[in-house]
DNA sequence: CGCCAGGACGCCC
DNA sequence: GGGCGTCATGGC
């Protein structure tokens, strides 16, 4: 990765990176594609830092109205620019199916998201579909002027959250708020725990089962050994890996390629 | 109308 | 331990 500062923008050159692949693959829910004269442009947030970013070509990107300081302190890490995805994909591609998946959407990167936002987002995701997940999170952020902290949400009840239309998940959101505010669950500590303890700790929260815990670990804590199995990945495992899934370092990142592949390959 | 969506819980055996 | 009905909501 290399970058140059130009006016108020940061121009980034990076291979193995695509905005559509990365920002519209179901790992983050607050990025919106907007009209532009570039290949594509998205606007969205990390915590409550807004960014508008455009893809100019296969390997050129514009981070609009971004200082060098903000780029290096926030966005470099968020987009995981410190990781060599060429090398990762080379390793994954020893597997036949993963080779196809990496070829299909080679621009996917694992975003380093905020653990709290991730926890709430993936509680909302259960037995739900991506457009509706985005809608619920939109309504939450609209009310609070950004993604609310657990402290801001302290007085919410399932009834007061009715406007979200999140259905049976509202009581789970409230339990997550209570667990974090009472320090029964400490996300910063969980992020550093051995993975089995981290899983158990997250599952203290009602509405957090195996799959949601795995998503929080992978997307919100950059625990790349976490491997969420949802209905789509279950299909991949049945269809292509009846003899078991091979051992990979950073298997969670491989999971992202597979998830995107199985959902979109027939389109 | 039924089926499905980045599932988890409660209850049953 | 595994199996099954239920839980809101909205798009198709």
Give per-residue pLDDT as tens, A61-108.
999 999 999 999 999 999 999 999 999 999 999 999 999 999 999 999
d(CA A158, CA A173): 8
Q: Which of A194, A212, A230 is the last residue of a domain?
A: A212
Facing residues of A33 across strands?
A: A42
Q: Which structural domain, as residue segments, surrounds residue A133?
A: 115-212
C-alpha distance from residue A144 to each of A48, A60, A137, A139, A152 (Å): 11, 34, 11, 9, 8
Residues A124 and A201 in one domain: yes
Query: Would you place residue A231 in the very low, low, confident or very high pLDDT band (cuts 50, 70, 90)?
Result: confident
Instruction: State the nucleotide closest to A169 in CA–C1' terms.
Output: C8
Closest residue by Cα to the C1' atom of nucleotide C6?
A168
At residue A49, the pLDDT reads 97
Instruction: State the nucleotide closest to A231 in CA–C1' terms.
Output: B6
Give per-residue pLDDT as tens, A33-59.
999 999 999 999 999 999 999 999 999
What is A162-173 written as a DSSP string?
Answer: GGG--GGGHHHH
C-alpha distance from residue A208 to each of A10, A57, A97, A205, A217 (Å): 39, 40, 30, 6, 12
Residues A193 and A119 in one domain: yes
- CA R_g for chain A: 19
- Average pLDDT (A201-225) is 98
Please tell me whether residue A61 adopts helix, strand or coil conformation: strand
Instruction: State the nucleotide closest to A215 in CA–C1' terms.
Output: B6
In a domain, A91, yes or no: no
C-alpha distance from residue A239 to each of A27, A46, A97, A214, A232 (Å): 23, 35, 10, 22, 11
Q: Degrees (nearest 5) of the Cα angle A197, A200, A201?
A: 85
Number of domains in chain A: 2
Q: Which two tokens stand for residue A260?
A: 């995107």
Query: Would you place residue A265 in the very low, low, confident or very high pLDDT band (cuts 50, 70, 90)?
Result: confident
Footprint of strand C on the protein (CB under 7 A): A 127-129, 131-132, 162, 165-168
C-alpha distance from residue A223 to each of A82, A174, A175, A194, A252 (Å): 15, 25, 23, 10, 8
- Average pLDDT (A166-183) is 98
Mean of per-residue pLDDT scores for chain A: 97
Residues A199 and A147 in one domain: yes
Nucleotides of B under 7 A from a protein CB: 4-10
At residue A192, the pLDDT reads 98
A139 touches strand B (CB under 7 A): no
First-to-last CA distance in chain A?
31
At residue A266, the pLDDT reads 82
Model pTM?
0.97
d(CA A117, CA A58): 30
In a domain, A220, yes or no: no
A132 touches strand B (CB under 7 A): yes
Query: Would you place residue A122 in the very low, low, confident or very high pLDDT band (cuts 50, 70, 90)?
Result: very high
Q: Which CATH number do you get for residue A187?
A: 1.10.340.30
């Amino acid at each position: 990765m290399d970058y140059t500062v130009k006016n108020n923008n940061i121009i980034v050159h990076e291979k193995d990176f695509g905005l559509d692949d990365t920002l519209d693959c179901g790992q983050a829910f607050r990025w919106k594609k907007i009209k532009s004269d570039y290949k594509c442009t998205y606007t969205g947030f990390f915590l409550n830092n807004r960014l508008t970013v455009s893809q100019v070509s296969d390997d050129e990107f514009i981070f609009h109205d971004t200082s060098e300081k903000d780029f290096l302190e926030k966005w470099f890490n968020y987009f995981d620019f410190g990781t060599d995805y060429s090398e990762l994909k080379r390793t994954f591609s020893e597997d036949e199916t993963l080779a196809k998946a990496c070829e299909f959407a080679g621009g996917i990167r694992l975003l380093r998201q905020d653990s709290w936002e991730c926890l709430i987002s993936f509680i909302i995701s259960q037995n739900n579909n991506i457009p509706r997940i985005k809608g619920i999170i939109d309504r939450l952020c609209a009310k609070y002027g950004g993604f609310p902290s657990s402290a801001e949400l302290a007085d919410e009840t399932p009834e007061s959250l009715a406007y979200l239309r999140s259905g049976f998940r509202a009581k789970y959101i409230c339990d997550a708020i209570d667990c974090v505010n009472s320090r029964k669950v400490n996300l910063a500590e969980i992020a550093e725990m051995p993975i089995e303890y981290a899983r158990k700790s997250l599952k203290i929260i009602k509405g957090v089962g195996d799959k949601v815990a795995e998503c929080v670990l992978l997307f919100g804590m950059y625990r790349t050994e976490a491997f969420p199995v949802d209905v789509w990945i279950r299909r991949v495992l049945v269809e292509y890996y009846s003899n078991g899934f091979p051992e990979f370092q950073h298997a969670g990142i491989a999971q992202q390629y597979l998830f995107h592949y199985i959902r979109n390959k027939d389109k």
